[in-house]
């Protein structure tokens, strides 16, 4: 039996798109996967999906991630956090309590965090014992979040630094049908860091993280290449925002966020229609939809 995986990219406020896709999935009780891997905001979205909490991620993004307690440039200029990811996690659980029984009896969930010592990705199986630390670590944006989450013998920063789209890891774990929810339109390719010397200076205490940031574009685009040209025997399906998706990493405008959410809902519904045979799978309704078995 073919093993199936779901990958959800991060992207801070761009995660509003994935929240819409996953709400469309929840509306149809669609969860055919054997495991899921989330990165940064993608991991937060997966928590809502796997605990079957429709609109939870939408509410967290639009009512809490826009709050100055979370995002505060003035605080950052005074030496504090630009974004307070620990507050967001703890307060969201207070306002929108999780159904932990559903969350941890669902399919296995993994989250990516970047090891500050090695600059390499670590993939944590999310459990009741580590969920708070793992979510803090995978969303701990370098520079923007001052504390360094430490647990399980290491210290970590945002998972997107080392592995923004962990399709290769899903394949390594045996998945041969991989569905990827991206946070950028299909035309996007990440540009190399313009000032690597500045990255090394700003992250002088963490040279491995600086190097990972410098290599991030290369790794990101390599993941896109894997998606477009998967190994023989593998299928990769991609759900991505349309080209007019206007939400940026730090967009705080609720009209734009609502628009991005609706785009996600529509993309999720379109994906389900394709999978269910309402219309055929092709490049327009299923994006890449690469089937290497017929290549």
The reply to whether the predicted model has a pTM over 0.85 is yes
Q: For the CA atoms of 283, 240, 271, 285, what is the dihedral angle to 10 degrees?
A: -20
71 phi/psi in degrees, rounded to 5 = -110, 115
242 phi/psi in degrees, rounded to 5 = -70, 170
Residue 212: inside a domain, yes or no? yes
Q: Which residues pair with 74 in a beta bridge?
A: none
pLDDT digits (tens, 9 = 90+) for 15-31: 999 999 999 999 999 99
List, by residue number, the catalytic residues.
40, 158
Q: Nearest-5° angle of CA 260, CA 253, CA 180?
A: 30
Residue 114: domain span: 3-276
Residue 85: inside a domain, yes or no? yes
In this structure, are residues 234 and 202 in contact, taking their beta carbons and an 8 Å threshold?
Answer: no
Tokens of 139: 């969303």
The number of domains in the chain is: 1
Residue 53 CB coordination number (10 Å): 21
Q: Is 101 exposed, middle or buried (0-12, 13-18, 19+ CB in 10 A)?
A: exposed
Residue 281: inside a domain, yes or no? no
Residue 244: inside a domain, yes or no? yes
Highest mean pLDDT among 159-163, 197-201, 203-207, 272-276: 159-163
Residue 110: inside a domain, yes or no? yes
Residue 26: inside a domain, yes or no? yes
pLDDT digits (tens, 9 = 90+) for 52-106: 999 999 999 999 999 999 999 999 999 999 999 999 999 999 999 999 999 999 8
Length of the chain: 295
Residue 236: inside a domain, yes or no? yes
Averaged pLDDT for residues 206-229: 95
């Amino acid at each position: 039996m073919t093993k199936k995986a779901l990958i959800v990219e991060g992207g801070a406020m761009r995660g509003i798109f994935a929240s819409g896709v996953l709400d469309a999935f929840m509306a149809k009780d669609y969860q055919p996967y054997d495991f899921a891997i989330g990165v940064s905001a993608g991991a937060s979205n997966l928590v809502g999906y796997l605990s079957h909490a429709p609109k939870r991620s939408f509410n967290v993004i639009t009512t809490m991630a826009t709050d100055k307690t979370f995002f505060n440039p003035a605080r950052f200029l005074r030496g504090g956090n630009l974004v307070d990811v620990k507050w967001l996690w703890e307060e969201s659980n207070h306002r929108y309590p999780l159904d932990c029984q559903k969350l941890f009896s669902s399919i296995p969930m993994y989250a990516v965090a970047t090891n500050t010592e090695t600059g390499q990705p670590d993939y944590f199986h999310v459990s009741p014992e580590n969920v708070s630390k793992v979510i803090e670590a995978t969303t701990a944006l370098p520079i923007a979040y001052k504390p360094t989450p430490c647990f399980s013998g290491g210290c970590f920063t945002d998972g997107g630094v080392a592995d923004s789209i962990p399709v290769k890891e899903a394949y390594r774990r045996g998945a041969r049908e991989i569905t990827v929810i991206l946070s950028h339109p299909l035309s996007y390719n990440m540009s190399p860091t313009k000032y690597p010397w500045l990255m090394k200076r700003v992250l002088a205490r963490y040279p491995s993280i600086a190097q990972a940031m410098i290599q991030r574009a290369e790794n990101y685009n390599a993941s896109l290449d894997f998606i477009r040209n998967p190994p023989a025997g593998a299928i990769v399906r991609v759900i991505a925002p349309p080209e007019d998706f206007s939400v940026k990493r730090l967009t705080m405008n609720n009209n734009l966020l609502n628009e991005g959410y609706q785009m996600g809902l529509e993309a999720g519904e379109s994906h389900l229609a394709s999978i269910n045979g309402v219309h055929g799978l092709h490049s327009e309704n299923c994006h890449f939809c690469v089937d290497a078995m017929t290549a």
